[in-house]
């Protein structure tokens, strides 16, 4: 089992938020369980318990926050995901 050294893998310095879908309820055609999604900043939506989720096409849609859990990625992974768009 790999155990990272403390401080060796910095997390979230680029200020991008990523989440994993843990429930797709009535959104089964739009969301995939266990899939990683990027969150677009939307303070108004967040104040109402929603997240603005970006899909593969770059479009974003509002979903209830409870369908996701936040994940902290190593800098290299976050950078690779952002550059892959």
For residue 2, is it within any domain? no
For residue 3, is it within any domain? no
For residue 8, is it within any domain? no
| CATH, residue 68 | 2.30.30
Whether pLDDT at 50 is above 60: yes
For residue 79, is it within any domain? yes
Whether pLDDT at 11 is above 60: no
Q: Which domain holds residue 67?
A: 17-83
Read off the pLDDT band of 7 (50, 70, 90).
low
Q: What is the distance between the alpha carbons of residues 4 and 36, in angstroms, rounded to a whole number?
A: 21
Structural domains of the chain, count = 1
> What's the chain's length in residues?
85
**Which pLDDT belongs to residue 15?**
73
Triad 82, 78, 58: Cα angle to 5°: 30
For residue 29, is it within any domain? yes
For residue 78, is it within any domain? yes
């Amino acid at each position: 089992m790999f155990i990272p050294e403390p401080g060796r893998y910095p997390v979230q310095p680029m200020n991008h938020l990523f989440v994993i879908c843990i429930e797709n309820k009535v959104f089964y055609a739009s969301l995939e369980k266990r899939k990683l999604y990027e969150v677009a900043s939307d303070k108004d939506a967040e104040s109402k318990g929603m997240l603005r989720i970006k899909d593969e096409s770059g479009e974003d849609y509002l979903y209830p926050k409870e369908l996701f859990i936040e994940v902290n990625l190593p800098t290299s992974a976050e950078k690779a995901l952002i550059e892959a768009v």
